[in-house]
Amino acid sequence: MEVRDQDVLFWELAHHLVARNGFQAVHVSDDRKQLWLEKETDKEQFLISLSKIDMAWSRGLENVIRDNARQFQSFKRSPTRKDVHYHNLYITSIAPADDWKSKTGEVVYTDPARRKPMQTWLFAASIGAHQSDDIVKFLQLLHADGQWPTKEDMLLADEEALARKVARQRQIIVRNIERDQEEAIKVFTYGKPRFTFVLLALILLIFAWIEVVADSTDVLTLIEFGAKYNPLIDDGEWWRIITSMFLHIGLLHLFMNSLALLFLGSAVERIFGTWRFVWIYMVAGVVGSTASYAFTEQVSAGASGAIFGCFGALVYFGISHRRLFFRTIGRSVIVILLINVIFGTVVPMVDNGAHMGGLVGGFLAAATVGMPDKKYNLKQLFFVVAIPVLLVILYGYGHYSEENMPSEPIVEIQISQEHLEADRYDEAYDTMAEVIDNTEMPEAYFMIGNAEYGRGNDEEAEHFYQEALAQNPEFHEALYNLALVYSERGERDEAREYVEEALELDPENEQYEELQEDLQDS
């Protein structure tokens, strides 16, 4: 009879919380002896472990309680700053014969670092079914409404009717859990990651092609193959906004983006389906590239903006399916996203404009198509309009804002250097001539001086090297190049003077030492 009473009390309490007070059954053990329940309000979250146990004595009860406290640690808590209440309930056939109340009354923490207390309750069916004061007190702590049934309501005289009642309560709760699991499976398997693998193959093929014919780390190569380069976009090559999404700068950049696309792209395509994913990816990439144009002067390339768009789509999924999101991938997505945002903020070479633009673009694109299991509504029209408006604002800011004008011609210096390495002195000069009048950067004067030196214009080269030294008197490379200019003119004394100054600034430079020795020998 007590075993039957234990089942009655276990499922009656579970049914009372789920059916009448909005608790969610989230897990039931295979043997149906442990049930996990949870409920969130605006300010609180309740987590409950409801278990059947049988023990004649309370010896060992402490270990059982602490095991449950450890299980609570792995339970997904609310991401918001809510008060979390942990309750650990045991339903026994009869109460242990010795003093068990002192053990259930001991404060046990689910997480010692956070000091979250777990309150333990032990209800003996032989007592709880008759004297319900402790159960009522427990329900009051949960703010649970509804009248707790009397002994007569729970223990029906008709054995068959009682068995049917318990079976029905158990079936309702187990079916709710199964329905949630089916919903999760349905959401995460809506689509198959076909387009993700097409994108990966395309990106890898383009990278291999570039590496075969040139070097993906060269700025000139990137520009030639369609990287985002603001001056050419200003000249009408708007297609670079799109082509830059498929280029990568070196093997490490390719590997990191491909790995991120494999995991994030697959997840988004499974959740949203292929055609929605294509839309999300392309919109995020275009918005990301346009944001890069607006906020970054550097030549840039890569799928990062579109990949951050996948983050944006997952955030939209989290808003649409909040509980499922935080039960599954939510915390990992938020942590990884925050790490990437912080990394992009503190590391200067990261194109954070593309990242943030892609994040917003991905969210807006996901909002325009919505979740596959939800109907379209008029609110989505707002997001449809928001995307072109955002693109116009970003492009207008990048094109017309004086604050966005290049202050230092870093890109031009890189391009000019690559021209010099290929002995294209005229191209190197033309690149620097366009920006030299608007800068006081010593490296710019040094670079155009190298171009003039390569073209055989020694006097112009000398002038630019002197300008570089005027901006930075410790620019030893300019001192060395001036020594070369004077040496070729036959002005040995001046050449020795400049190379000695260069050696004082960089005494370990073998190239400088060789020139000094040649000048001394002559």
* DSSP states of 119-145: EEEEEEHHHHTT--HHHHHHHHHTT--
Q: Which helix (H) or strand (E) holds 110?
A: strand 108-111
Q: What is the pLDDT of residue 80?
A: 58
Q: State the number of CA atoms in the 13 A half-sphere of 170 facing the CB.
A: 17
Element (H, E) at 184: helix 159-188
The whole-angstrom separation of Cα 501 and Cα 495 is 10
Are the CB atoms for 452 and 429 separated by under 8 Å?
A: yes
Would 194-404 and 410-521 be classified into the same CATH topology?
A: no
In the CATH hierarchy, which fold is given to the domain comprising 2-188? Restriction Endonuclease (3.40.91)
86 has which bridge partners?
47, 118
Q: 3-state class of 23 per DSSP?
A: coil
Q: What local confidence, expressed as pLDDT, does residue 3 receive? A: 46
Rounded Cα distance between 8 and 129, Å, is 9
The answer to whether 284 and 314 have CB atoms below 8 angstroms apart is no
* Chain position carrying tokens 């011609």: 409
pLDDT digits (tens, 9 = 90+) for 409-463: 888 888 888 888 888 899 989 988 888 888 888 898 999 989 988 998 888 988 9
Question: What's 194-404's CATH class?
Answer: mainly alpha
- Give me the CATH topology for the region 410-521: 1.25.40
Torsion of CA 119, 124, 130, 136, to 10 degrees: 10
Q: How many CB atoms lie within 10 A of CB 260?
A: 18
Low-confidence ranges of the chain (pLDDT < 70): 1-3, 57, 75-81, 111-115, 127-133, 348, 402-407, 521-522
Which position has the token pair 């230092």?
408
Quick check: 472 and 442 in contact, CB under 8 A? yes
**Contact criterion met (CB below 8 Å) for 40 and 78:** yes
pLDDT at 2: 40
Indicate the SS3 state at residue 109. strand
Give the Cα separation of 276 and 341 in Å (integer): 25
Query: Could you tell me the residue ranges of all domains in the chain?
Result: 2-188, 194-404, 410-521
